[in-house]
Amino acid sequence: MSGATLPALQTVSTRGALSWRRVNNTLRRAYVPLLIVILWQAGSDLGLYSVQTVPPPTVVAAAAWQLATSGQLAINIWVSLERVFFGLSIGVAVGTTFALIAGLSRIGEDALDSTVQMVRTLPHLALIPLMIMWFGIGETPKITLIALGSMFPIYLNLFAGIRGADRKLREAAGTLGLSHFETILHVVLPAALPGFLVGLRQAFGISWITLVVAEQINANAGIGYLVMNARDFLRTDIIFVGLTIYALLGLLTDSSVRFLEKHLLAWRPTYLAQGAAK
């Protein structure tokens, strides 16, 4: 075997091992959800609970297929996605702006942090009556509630990340001749990126939780609208379809942020060590 062939085979072997590791990790993450579905179906088949109260997965899947073929499912999912997208975008933009102002400046912290902390302690879902009085029953209160809920995780985690940047790295940047702005851009913000991504994962989760409640405010479309209609007609199978979609969308968005973490934080030695250990 030639010397050029051996490295090529080693590269192919390494890639194959990494691919299998990714598949194995994905399968491991699916074990518990699959077990829950199997036990759920088994409980129904054994008559442990009423089918009318807790429909089995087969009935839920049939209801989902019916909604999908009629086009209702895609339309309502799209409406819910739009609400989360706009609300989350506003919340991330505001939370990031406030965190940068408060995290990079003591004056900014004195001006903003106490106010943000006071507002943060207010349960944003309890503001629904005020939102209806201020903005009516259209899309504005729904998007505003999502923005409020998603803003605070971004602010808290990014603020903590900025303030937690290693002082030695800042001093090293100064000795290398970097300006204050360059130090922020190349040292402080990269150090705060892990915190921002953690905040983004939390913001996505809060956005979906908020959407469940917000779509009950006189909605005429969306996953919550499907669930509310199903409740009126005692269609527990459709209610379970809606809940399953909420859960799957939450998992999908969380996985998207994890994908970003994998690529944006690949330069961190600690991240590489954690990835090698899995």
What does the alpha-carbon distance between residue 132 and residue 225 come to, in Å, rounded to a whole number? 17
| pLDDT given for residue 180 in this prediction | 67
Interior CA angle at 132 toward 233 and 94, to 5°? 115
Q: What is the DSSP string of 41-103?
A: HHHHHTTSS-TTTS--HHHHHHHHHHHHHHTHHHHHHHHHHHHHHHHHHHHHHHHHHHHHHHH
Q: Of 25-39, 54-68, 116-130, which range is least confident? A: 25-39
Residue 225 CA, distance from chain mean position: 22
pLDDT category at 23 given cuts 50, 70, 90 is low
Q: What pTM did the predictor assign? A: 0.78
For the record, the structure tokens of 124 come out as 């944003």
Q: What is the DSSP string of 103-119?
A: HH-HHHHHHHHHHHHHH
| Domains in the chain: boundaries | 1-49, 55-277
| pLDDT given for residue 126 in this prediction | 82
Mean pLDDT of 231-251: 87
Residue with tokens 């005020």: 130
Q: What is the DSSP-derived secondary structure letter of residue 221?
A: S
| pLDDT given for residue 135 in this prediction | 84
Q: What is the DSSP-derived secondary structure letter of residue 98?
A: H
> Would you identify the CATH topology of the domain 55-277?
MetI-like fold (1.10.3720)
Check: CB of residue 66 under 8 Å from CB of residue 77. no
Q: Give yes or no for residue 278 having a pLDDT over 60.
A: no
What does the alpha-carbon distance between residue 79 and residue 275 come to, in Å, rounded to a whole number? 36
Mean pLDDT of 118-122: 87
| pLDDT given for residue 272 in this prediction | 47
Mean pLDDT of 116-133: 85
| pLDDT given for residue 261 in this prediction | 81
